[in-house]
Chain A
Amino acid sequence: MLKYSLKRICLALVTLWVIITLTFLLMHSIPGNPFAQEGSMPKAVYDNLQSYYNLDKPLLTQYGLYLQSLLQLDFGPSLKSSSISVNDYIKNGFPISLHLGAQAMVIAITFGLIFGVIASLNRNKWPDYVAMVLAIIGISVPNFILATILINYLAVEWHLFPVATWKSWSHTVLPSIALAMMPMAYIARLMRSSMLEVLSQDYILTAKSKGLSRYSVIFKHAIRNAMLPIVTVLGILIANLVTGSFIIESIFGIPGMGEMFVKGIFNRDYPVILGSTIFYSAILIFLILIVDLAYTWIDPRIKVPGGRK
């Protein structure tokens, strides 16, 4: 197990390096320039900016300088803000996005599993239809529409929650719900089909025939086995949720890190593009590793290579 984990971590570092290099090359090859603006600035001003941020150096030198500062865990300055560096962006933004993402994840997993299980146990009866109609709405209604509807009724019309900003717990409720809808619906659908498959297996019949209670059969045999596909997608879902959603954070005025991904590219803010890509990749790689390790815990039939024979 330890050997396997170490091997995976080494592999992850190589993957990260490839991602950094590719991103670096790609971002310098797209048209546009971080300092371009309507009405070109005098050449001297432009040159001063370029040399201030080392952008006048050859690409290879820039790449070397970047890797060097990266080894000191310094993601560099933001070309668009002289007050906050890329490290600040992550340091300030990530805890907020993580908080929001975790709340959304709890909502999504709890209700997703409940809806999925209820639907599968009542296949083709009304609870199944209700749960699946909700799931289809959750998947097909974009979260910015849902967010706008939530704000309009729960905040503007009924004054139950504040409209936007990130100050107290009540400010976190609406964005968490808006963010949770899609993964919740996804989990519910996946859980339903997975449960149906498990329930038709022979061992469920065996469990029933040896006289186990309905509760035991469902909770101890069916759900545990049906969880496996959910765990597989959880890694990616969590990585997406905790690194922030640009749209939700923008609509609710939340100072998370979601906007880094979009605005970094829009502004050609090179260090921000690289910083956000590296950070997201690291989290994703880490979570996928956790998911792989979690398989063996949930289903002892799965063995990790190099693990106990």
Chain B
Amino acid sequence: MKKKLGSTLILILSTFFVLSGCFGGGTTKEPASNDSGKPSDETEETAPKVLRLNNSSEPGSLHPGTAQGTHDSWILEHAFEGLTKKTPEGEIIQGMAEEWETSEDGLTWTFHLRDGIHWSNGDPVTATDFEYAWKYALNPESASTYAYQLYYLEGGQEFNEGKAGEDGVGVTATDEKTLEVKLAQPTPYFLDLTSFYTYYPINQKVQEDNPEWYQEADTYVSNGAFKLTEWKHKESIKLAKNEHYYEQDKINLDEVHFVIIDDENTAWQMYQAGELDLVYPLPQDVQGQLMANNDPEFVAGPDLSVYYYNINNNVKPFNNPKVRKALSMAIERQTIVDHVAQGGQPPAYSVVPPGIPDVNGDYQENTGKLFEENLDEAKKLLEEGLAEEGMDQIPNFTLTYNTSEGHKAIAEAVQEMWRKNLGIEMTLENVEFQVKLDREKAGDYTISRAGWVGDYVDPMTFMDLWVTDGPYNDADWSNAEYDKLVQTAKTTMDQEVRMKAMHDAEKILMDEMPILPIYFYTKPFTVKPNVTGIYTPINRYPQFIYADIE
């Protein structure tokens, strides 16, 4: 027994040392040579130009038909190209299509593909690839979340609902180079949609030979400026310049390396340590510091989205527009933006964000402020509104937000402003995101935090949210005149009539205030000074197609 005694502890310990030794050797993936964490300043002429950035989540799908969300689209936008694409100035220009014409009624569009366009495996890109891809996304069996982006096509919705076959879908490749598109109704922003990822082509041959082609880098085939060369799931993604791209002489980067880093603070620390060249998104407090210091590496790019509070229009006294307006007028938006959100966001006095073109100029600039923050007026309105509802004060109510430090801070600021400015007491409640969505749909809330990111660059992507029984009208507000104006804007190709109708509708919306706009989001990111050519279209992540490293 004595002999065994001493060896016991040593055995246990040595087992673990040996174990760790095995793993240490076994799973080391690369030599540690160039991963020392030291900032590299090797930008010699000969070295390949590599842009390093973070994607804050593993993409769910890198298939244009089934992709959803920005973690997928950031990669797709650089690996694929649609019929059209956008310049750094936001202008829509030729992509895969060289020219196009539209019929007088705006229902038929004919696209002519340019010559010399190829997939990354060398196959030519044909009109059939587009027809195939669009029908693939609409096919109910593909279970595509974004299929509704193609409901603009004639017969598209019916096919997706399983009520009609794919033959009725209004997209046909009349020959290798010509794509004819029939729309269900005139859609003035259709050209904008053709640059969106659900409208990208897929290589029919590749898809039919191997339906899982998009799951690994080895089998991945795309038609854009970059191709996927490595995908270590949940770890990293590498893109390289696509030598088959028709404009490859305009592409300066040789490679793009994404790391998948969930934690914003870690990504920021990697940037500070020189391991990344561009970081988006940033931690909120870092944004504030960088803004305050006027840091030259900091950019607050525009964003097509609005942060707002839903008011349940069925709950007394919030069914009264005067009460809702009083609440809105008593929120000091500039203070929230400067001290809480801290990302250079413009305060919102309407719902359509800046950056969308009007007939002349910018839509939001032409709208101007649709209401003002005015405490005296707010108190007066609140009193009148309550009297109309036969109440003398607002009973304690709850503001619900999905769990996040950022939403919490804003909710606390609003709570304090309403207490100080109007003498209103309310309780804050945080719930899981999924629970919040459930409760909003069920109308089981009084005030809830919400946000909306536009799908396409047109005011309609915001305006049709609040039509009666609209899919995202969680406020359950209804106004016949508003509905009529939105319908007018939806059915005409005349830009002047459309824009006027939407401006008028937005005035009604802000007059009745079923929702309380707080601010328009921005896309705050940092980029190293030696990286040039990054630009941020309003509805995209920072684009690096034309980026260069000096």
Which residues of chain A have a CB within 8 Å of any CB of chain B? 31-33, 35-42, 44-45, 47-49, 51-53, 80-84, 88, 92-93, 95-96, 98-99, 102-103, 105-106, 109-110, 113, 148, 151-152, 155-156, 159-172, 219-221, 223-224, 227, 250-253, 255, 259, 266-268, 298, 300
Contact = CB atoms under 8 A, between A and B. Distances in A.
6 contacts: A36-B437, A48-B140, A102-B19, A164-B259, A168-B29, A168-B35
Enumerate the 4 nearest inter-chain pairs by beta-carbon distance, A residue then B residue, closest first.
A32-B434, A162-B37, A52-B143, A168-B32
Contact of B30 (A95, A110, A168): A168
B140 A253 contact: no
Given A44-B160, A80-B60, A163-B275, A156 B8 contact: no
B8 A298 contact: yes
B58 interface: yes
Nearest to B236: A165
Contact of B262 (A110, A219, A223, A250): A250
A166 B140 CA distance: 39
Interface residues of B, number: 80
A184 B261 CA distance: 27
Contact of B143 (A32, A48, A81, A168): A48
B269 A163 contact: yes
B450 A84 contact: no
Contacts of A266: 432-434
Given A102-B16, A164-B269, A33 B438 contact: yes
A81 B20 contact: no
Interface stretch (B145-153, B290-298, B313-321, B422-430): B145-153
Interface string B1-43: 1100110110011001101100110111111100111110000
B234 A162 contact: no
Nearest to A249: B262
A162 B124 CA distance: 43
Contacts of A40: 441, 471-472
Residue with the greatest number of chain A CB neighbours at <10 A, chosen from B160, B234, B259, B269:
B234
A221 B78 CA distance: 67
B377 interface: no
Say what secondary structure dominates the interface of chain A.
helix
Contacts of B12: 109, 227
Contacts of B434: 31-33, 36, 266-268
A83 B9 contact: no
B269 A93 contact: no
B272 interface: yes
Nearest to A220: B5
Contacts of B437: 32-33, 36-38
Contact of B31 (A53, A92, A102, A168): A168
Contacts of B269: 151-152, 155-156, 163-164
A170 B266 contact: no
B160 A45 contact: yes
A106 B32 contact: no
Contacts of A37: 145, 437
Given A81-B61, A162-B275, A106 B16 contact: yes
B157 interface: yes
Chain A CB within 10 Å, residue with most, of B216, B232, B433, B452: B433
Contacts of A51: 140, 143
Contacts of B389: none
A161 B269 CA distance: 12
B263 interface: yes
Given A113-B13, A224-B9, 19 more contacts: A38-B452, A40-B441, A41-B471, A42-B157, A45-B147, A45-B148, A48-B140, A48-B142, A48-B143, A48-B147, A52-B141, A102-B19, A161-B37, A162-B35, A164-B269, A164-B275, A165-B259, A167-B32, A253-B235
B67 to A, nearest CB: 9
Contacts of B66: 82
Contacts of A33: 434, 437-438
Interface in B57-73: 58-63, 66
A251 B273 contact: no
A163 B266 contact: yes
B469 to A, nearest CB: 11
B303 to A, nearest CB: 15
Interface of B: 1-2, 5-6, 8-9, 12-13, 16-17, 19-20, 23-24, 26-32, 35-39, 58-63, 66, 140-145, 147-148, 151, 157, 160-162, 214-216, 232-236, 259-263, 265-266, 269-270, 272-273, 275, 432-435, 437-439, 441, 450-452, 465, 471-472
B266 A38 contact: no
A84 B24 CA distance: 26
Nearest to B266: A164
Contact of B37 (A32, A82, A159): A159
A49 B143 contact: yes
A255 B233 contact: yes
A31 B140 contact: no
Given A42-B148, A102-B19, A31 B438 contact: yes
A227 B9 contact: yes
A148 B145 CA distance: 37
B148 A92 contact: no
B13 A44 contact: no
Nearest to B233: A84
B471 A39 contact: yes
A48 B160 contact: yes
Nearest to B10: A219
A161 B451 CA distance: 39
Nearest to A266: B432
A103 B20 contact: yes
Contacts of A31: 434-435, 438-439
A148 B27 contact: no
A114 to B, nearest CB: 10
Given A99-B23, A253-B263, A255-B235, A169 B28 contact: yes
A167 B147 CA distance: 38
Contacts of A220: 2, 5-6
A35 B263 CA distance: 24
B58 to A, nearest CB: 7
Given A151-B266, A170-B32, A253-B260, A159 B452 contact: no
B60 A255 contact: no
Contact of B265 (A98, A224, A251): A251
A250 B261 CA distance: 7
A252 B232 CA distance: 16
A232 to B, nearest CB: 14
A167 B441 contact: no
A271 B94 CA distance: 43
Nearest to B139: A48
A198 B260 CA distance: 50
Given A219-B9, A266-B433, A106 B19 contact: yes
A65 B32 CA distance: 46
A163 B270 contact: yes
Given A162-B275, A227-B9, A253-B266, A36 B261 contact: no
B35 A95 contact: no
Nearest to B19: A102
Nearest to A254: B235
